[in-house]
Structure 1
Amino acid sequence: MHSTMERWSGRVAVVTGASAGIGAAIAHELVKKGLKVVGLARRVEKVEELSSSLKSEKGKMYAVKCDVTKESHVTLAFKWVKENLGGVDILVNNAGVAIDSSLIDGSTEDLKKMLDLNILALSVCTKEALKSMKERGVDDGHIININSVAGHIPPQDYFCMYAATKHAITILTEGLRRELVARDSNIRVTSISPGLVKTDLPPKVVLQVSPYLNPEDIAGSVVYVLDTPPHVQIHELTILPVRQRL
């Protein structure tokens, strides 16, 4: 397939949860490809460190402090993007949390954290990104949701609520695709569903006994999705480490 990645050079991508793990790897890779990348995170100092390490790359990294579970923070972050960079062309909804919490006796607070970050924050960020695209007449933008294989298969042990939030992302991705089609929009939406990835989320004991992916593997999949021609939509991309048992 002929590469079309050059068409994104100089354009603006917002990556949520960009301070570490998958988000940091995605931001890093997009800057290398020449994009202006806005990294949203509560730990903004981590994004600033990443930005400093990328000064010699083709693109540029911007750090914006934002708790995406707070709608006012999200609104201000996208306002900053509009005022400083013009607006958003790509949104990567990466921020998420997985808590090993029982539905029977787990804390309501833990359950709510997953619902607020994994579903509602993603939805609010998506709404703001699409608003930005509409205001500027951008009809070739891209929304990428970092999902999970847990969004497609029965959950294990006490991760039922986490799996439920990821199942929700599967539905939200398809729902958004249908809404965009109904509006004759060429904006694309993609769900990327990794298996086990070596980040801060999985328990260390799991990483010791199971094959895993690296954050850079997921960053590569984001580039692959963006690199497809404008008429091609990778709607769902599932990535597993070799020999992972589901």
Structure 2
Amino acid sequence: MVLSMERFQGKVAVVTGASAGIGASIVEDLVKNGVIVAGLARRINRVEDLAKKLSNKKGKLHAFKCDMTKEEEIKEAIGQVIEKLGPIHILVNNAGLMQEATLINGDTQAWKTTLDTNILGLCIATREVVQNMKANNTLGHIIHINSVLGHKIMDFPGLNVYPATKYAVTCLAGSLMSELKHEKLRIKVTSISPGYVKTEFQAVAGLPNETPIPALYGPDVADAVIYALSTPPHVNVNEVTVEAI
């Protein structure tokens, strides 16, 4: 099997949650491989700063402001991407969050924000992009950044509804594959499930950033994304699990 990103050079990719951590690493690798990237994030200034840093690479990064808990912002941002950059070939659903709480004493709004971001935001972005791919008969690729917590339950206090959202992502990836097959659409779907990744994600969630668990880093997950995208058109990598040793 020959791995190559050549067919995506000059094509458009959308990456959600592009301002930091895993998302920023994915954006960087895509741009280095000649992809035109639309980086969606609430903190658009961070994406703009990253675009300046990557200005001498083969591809290009464009920043779009988007709150993944708001349907209208997602639809508007993706519409702007299509209008300004052209048809979308890649979607990386990376945006996600976790807020420290428990299921016994947790805050309802914190749960809702997590569910809206990790599940509904992903679904809305996927729907909008698939419609664009379908309209243009695009041989596209949709990647969900999942988690090992979407496949096994771990004894780790404070995770509350977060693992449930990642189990949902596992199911949504499989269901999407089935729907695309029934529609006879040539769109690949890959779920990438990293273990513990050391980014600012934990601090934002109110969890300790240091754990005894071996850590991955953003570029490790970005490598998995590039691997999945680099496979030949007739090959689909359904699931990639990446863990540190």
Do these two structures clear the TM 0.5 threshold for a shared fold by scoring above it?
yes
AA aligned to 1:161 is: V
The answer on whether the counterparts of 2:198 and 2:209 sit within 8 Å (CA) in structure 1 is: no
Do residues 210 (structure 1) and 210 (structure 2) align? no
> Which structure 2 residues correspond to residues 41-56 of structure 1 after superposition, within 5 A?
41-56=41-56
Partner Cα separation in structure 1 for residue 171 and residue 208 of structure 2:
31
Partner Cα separation in structure 2 for residue 79 and residue 112 of structure 1:
26
Do residues 104 (structure 1) and 107 (structure 2) align? no
Aligned to 1:233, what secondary structure does the other structure show?
coil
Partner Cα separation in structure 2 for residue 4 and residue 208 of structure 1:
36
Q: Paired residue for 1:17?
A: 17
Two-structure CA RMSD over aligned residues (Å): 1.2
Unaligned runs of 5+ in 2: none
Partner Cα separation in structure 2 for residue 54 and residue 184 of structure 1:
37
TM-score, normalization by structure 1: 0.95
Shift of 1:208: 4.4
AA aligned to 1:92 is: V
Shift of 1:110: 0.9
Partner Cα separation in structure 1 for residue 160 and residue 107 of structure 2:
13
AA aligned to 2:63 is: A
> Which structure 2 residues correspond to residues 29-108 of structure 1 after superposition, within 5 A?
29-108=29-108
Q: Paired residue for 2:229?
A: 226
Partner Cα separation in structure 1 for residue 89 and residue 219 of structure 2:
22
Residues 169-201 of structure 1, C-alpha deviations (whole Å, 9 max, x = no match): 000000000001111122000100000001112
Partner Cα separation in structure 1 for residue 68 and residue 98 of structure 2:
16
Q: Paired residue for 1:132?
A: 132
Shift of 1:100: 2.3
Q: Paired residue for 2:143?
A: 144
Shift of 1:210: 2.1
Shift of 1:97: 0.4
Shift of 1:206: 5.0
Q: Paired residue for 1:171?
A: 171
Partner Cα separation in structure 1 for residue 117 and residue 43 of structure 2:
15
The answer on whether the counterparts of 2:10 and 2:59 sit within 8 Å (CA) in structure 1 is: yes
Shift of 1:79: 1.2
AA aligned to 2:102 is: S
The answer on whether the counterparts of 2:3 and 2:227 sit within 8 Å (CA) in structure 1 is: no
Partner Cα separation in structure 2 for residue 205 and residue 68 of structure 1:
25
Partner Cα separation in structure 1 for residue 99 and residue 85 of structure 2:
35
Task: State the identity %.
Answer: 48
Unaligned runs of 5+ in 1: none
Residues 55-79 of structure 1, C-alpha deviations (whole Å, 9 max, x = no match): 1000000000111211111111111
Q: Paired residue for 2:241?
A: 238
Q: How many residues align?
A: 241
AA aligned to 2:15 is: V
Do residues 8 (structure 1) and 8 (structure 2) align? yes
AA aligned to 1:59 is: G
Residues 111-163 of structure 1, C-alpha deviations (whole Å, 9 max, x = no match): 1111000000000000011011112121x100000000000001432313100
